[in-house]
Chains A and B, each alone.
Chain A
Amino acid sequence: EIVLTQSPDTLSLSPGERATLSCRASQPIASNYLAWYQQKPGQAPRLLIYDTSKRATDIPDRFSGSGSGTDFTLTISRLEPEDFALYHCQSYGGSPPNTFGQGAKLEIK
């Protein structure tokens, strides 16, 4: 069973800075089936990135995903105030079909 570990647990940055969030898998993820979600307090998660690097509909291009094998990254090139939120990575298509990381909080410094 794949275990996803996100780091850091909390990242403190200022608007305009670049954010890099990591997601490490305990074993290689087949076909790079990895997604990223953003979740704001009291809201449902929103799909940002799927298949490691494909942006979901209406997601700004400041969000990008990369990686392969066991190491994956979500990068936000220039933080906007609305980007401060909780971020989840998810692997899919394996066994079990879906696994999530523990979540990482991006907070304003």
Chain B
Amino acid sequence: QVQLVQSGAEVKKPGASVKVSCKASGYTFTSYGISWVRQAPGQGLEWMGWISAYNGNTNYAQKLQGRVTMTTDTSTSTAYMELRSLRSDDTAVYYCARGELLGDFDYWGQGTLVTVSS
């Protein structure tokens, strides 16, 4: 069965960076892309960006350009999302989700809470 398992919760200070991992299993990793979606406390879903696990092509949300980097390691079927220059409003649950750029997200990770606080 398809599974996306994310790394554990993080607490970071403003200005720091965080890197969240998403390990895939149960399917051919390079056959699908991975999107990252975040959800601030009590708020809705916000798409952050997408990476092709086939060739590493990326597409980031304009508001995060310059602060976010998405990568994959095909040898371990793991996707990564790094967010830099963290601010308090980056506090959110971060999800990885399987899917193509123009399509739906059919499987989701369990979420990783990132708290940014001084």
Say whether A and B bind each other: no
B residues at A contact (CB < 8 Å): none
